Amino acid sequence: MTTIENELASSWAAWHADREETLRATHGWLSLTGLYWLDSSPAQFPDLPGTWRADGSGGVFITAVAADGVLVDDVPVDGTVRVEPVDGQPGALVRIGARKVEVIRRTDTYALRVRDPEAITRTAFDGVPSYPVDERWVVPGRFEAYPEPRPITVDAVVEGLNHYFTAVGEVVLTLDGQPQRLIALPARTGGLSLHFRDGTSGTGTYGGGRILVVGDPAEDGAVTVDLNRTVNLPCAFTAYATCPLPPAGNTLTVPVEAGERTPPRPDLAA
């Protein structure tokens, strides 16, 4: 290996180790064991005490007795408590023993996502398979900002569900001599988020697409696109996520044999 290749592989290995450690989090994405949609009728769900309902005005009502061990803000529920999840954001967390129930809002629908540290997707997790790191997949790009940010709507892995984002521009790059263009969204922790499909989607990689975060563009719009750091969305690991699909047109015309591959699914094998 050249010095550059060694540095690239070493940097990627440290980044990948951090990525896998995040996935192993006690109540992270690998801990999901259930997704239950709510309506205005009080409902009970498997292994969850109490009743749960959404009233359509932005709140979810939880009714339980103290003996049920349902805690909101570390206070036992003894009667009825209202929580207010925010659309598209991580949900309000309700603790039941070692589990956490995440109360989420997606547009005008509400759901419970159960997070259990003993989920087989977490306890059997043995890392994320990835393609070999290759400097071929580190390419220059250029960010072309829109005159004004544009609201976009994308479908989700859950049929009938939509996600609403704000696109800020497009990243232009070249792969194998072919020009490519991807709609860019602001990433949660800074930089730009590129959600795309490519020629490996549905074969070597997850069919719902993958995501790459690139750093903030330089003043002239220059960005470095390191496709070795392309990652799976949570829905590649669990049936209980509500991931968005890529924006329309965000399909690279070449197979990107870089980044994370389709992970094993021990919950499906069980």
Q: How far apart are CA 177 and CA 265, in angstroms?
A: 35
Annotate 74-113 with DSSP letters as a single string: TEE-SEEEEE-PPBTSPPEEEEETTEEEEEEEETTEEEEE
Residue 116 structure tokens: 């259990």
Task: Write the single-letter amino acid at 228.
Answer: N
Tell me, what's the pLDDT at 9? 93
Average pLDDT over residues 240-255: 95
Average pLDDT over residues 45-50: 93
Q: Do residues 221 and 145 touch, judged by C-beta distance below 8 A?
A: yes
pLDDT tier at 216, thresholds 50, 70, 90: very high
Q: Do residues 250 and 180 touch, judged by C-beta distance below 8 A?
A: no
Check: pTM over 0.95? Answer yes or no. Answer: no
Domains, the chain, in order of start with CATH, read: 29-123 (2.60.200), 127-264 (no CATH)
Q: 175 CB contacts (<8 Å, ≥6 apart)?
A: 139, 252, 253, 254, 256
Backbone angles phi and psi of 104, in degrees to 5: -115, 155
Give 198: exposed, middle or buried? Use CB within 10 Å, 0-12, 13-18, 19+.
Answer: buried
Q: What is the pLDDT of residues 138-157, one digit of tens each?
A: 999 999 999 999 999 999 99
pLDDT tier at 107, thresholds 50, 70, 90: confident
Average pLDDT over residues 165-172: 97
Give 184: exposed, middle or buried? Use CB within 10 Å, 0-12, 13-18, 19+.
Answer: buried
Tell me, what's the pLDDT at 158? 87
Residue 1 has pLDDT above 80, yes or no: no
Residue 250 has pLDDT above 70, yes or no: yes
Q: Do residues 171 and 182 touch, judged by C-beta distance below 8 A?
A: yes
Tell me, what's the pLDDT at 151? 97
- Does residue 107 or residue 197 have the better pLDDT? 197
Residue 33 has pLDDT above 80, yes or no: yes
**Tokens 């399909």, residue located:** 251
Q: How far apart are CA 263 and CA 161, in angstroms?
A: 24
Q: How far apart are CA 164 and CA 152, in angstroms?
A: 6
**Mean pLDDT of all residues belonging to the chain:** 94
Q: How far apart are CA 83 and CA 101, in angstroms?
A: 12
* Tally of CA atoms within 13 A in the half-sphere of 139 that contains its CB: 18
